[in-house]
Amino acid sequence: MLSRPSRLSAAALALAALSLPLAAASAAPPAIDAGPVQRDADVLRDAGVTGVAVRLDTPRGTVTARSGVGDLVTRRPVPTDGYLRLGSTTKAFVATVVLQLVGEKRLSLDRTVEQVLPGVVAGAGNDGRTITVRDLLQHTSGLSDYIYDVFPDPGARTYFADRWRAYEPEELVALAVRHEPAFPAGTRWAYSNTNYVLAGMIIEEIAGRPWEQEVRRRILRPLNLEQTDTPGTRPFLPHPHTADHQQFTAGGPMVDTTIPYRPFDSGADGSMTGTARDVNRFFTALADGRLLKPSELAAMRTTVPVPRDSGHPAGTRDGLGVFLTPLSCGGGYLGHGGSGFGYVVRTAVTTDGRRSLTVSAHSRSADPRAAARQEDALRDLVDHALCRTE
């Protein structure tokens, strides 16, 4: 369903037109054609996603689209600008706070983890003396991803058995450093949620307050992002929201996973919630320089290649808390997606900050072919929305 401006009666419209000078009336921009965004949302639904929501903000106005259902039981519609689990989109907020601390000369990207958090990263070949803050933010640390320790058996039984369990950040890091690093720090790239658990710990060590408080103080309040939250282990989304559904085995049932899996949905690597409106405002402010000084924004945008088998579109590069992805029409967009059991969120803002987009897909398939079709449809939606000129 598309958002449309409220209709005026013919008489009211005529009266309004008479009251305006001819030049002003003719200068009014035409409404944005929301049809292409809706069609792409419907393609994603037809690929098997139970519920889809899209918000595109441009200088010309906002387009929203909804497709599918808000849950599989009542078949209610997907809400407009409903609350979302942001998953790893949280990392962009955390990286922004770290870079603000760098801009304040309270931290350096070249400081090592050992210098900030003595003794935390050690053992099994892991050495905090060789891993820098930059390595954490850019996923070049080589540290093992703790999620394989907290969800070793990928099935519905494990989800229901362990979804209420919560870990302290130090516990998650301890799980990760039991494993040998994948490579020496700074030599390669591999995504690891452990990196941002450590980034959250570093914020608290340097700022003297938990990362959640710093995100609220430095980003949410200044930008008036009232619908964005750092809920920690609180499991329930505010209303309205779409239900999330995970298929754990190919051909199996869609399981309602709206309750998050706390072991990897409650920390600095992926716990935040919000709305598409707020997320777009955050990434727009990030892109246009309102949150970071020029030198720190340049550091955020300094990227390394992402391997082709990483699951990202070809040509994607990783900065500090954001990815830079090429567009088919030239140029690229910045963003950081998020996912968990039953949901995928994609965020994107053109590098000039003029067009921002958030897409949420509220189910995930266990069939690799269906998942690939959904991923292709999601990538096409983002590319079309940002490339299209009105």
Residues marked active site are found at 88
Residues 211 and 220 sit within 8 Å (Cβ to Cβ): no
Non-local (6+) Cβ contacts of 259 within 8 A are: 163, 235, 236
Non-local (6+) Cβ contacts of 266 within 8 A are: 166, 167, 232, 233, 260
Taking the C-alpha atoms of residue 203 and residue 116, their distance in angstroms, rounded to an integer, is: 10
Instruction: Give the single-character DSSP code of 262.
Output: G
Residues 215 and 93 sit within 8 Å (Cβ to Cβ): yes
Closest CA to 338 of 270, 265, 241: 270
CA dist 214 → 18, 99, 203, 276, 382 (Å)? 52, 12, 8, 21, 30
Taking the C-alpha atoms of residue 88 and residue 131, their distance in angstroms, rounded to an integer, is: 21
Token couple for 122: 């050690």
Closest CA to 279 of 193, 220, 191: 220
Residues 265 and 271 sit within 8 Å (Cβ to Cβ): yes
Taking the C-alpha atoms of residue 363 and residue 3, their distance in angstroms, rounded to an integer, is: 23
DSSP β-ladder status, 363-364 and 245-247: parallel
Query: What b/e readout covers 299-327, taking b as 16+ CB neighbours within 10 angstroms?
Result: bbbebeebeeeeebbeebbbbbbbbbbeb
Q: Sign of torsion, CA 244 232 335 29?
A: positive
The helix (H) or strand (E) run that includes residue 205 is helix 194-207
Closest CA to 141 of 118, 102, 109, 101: 109
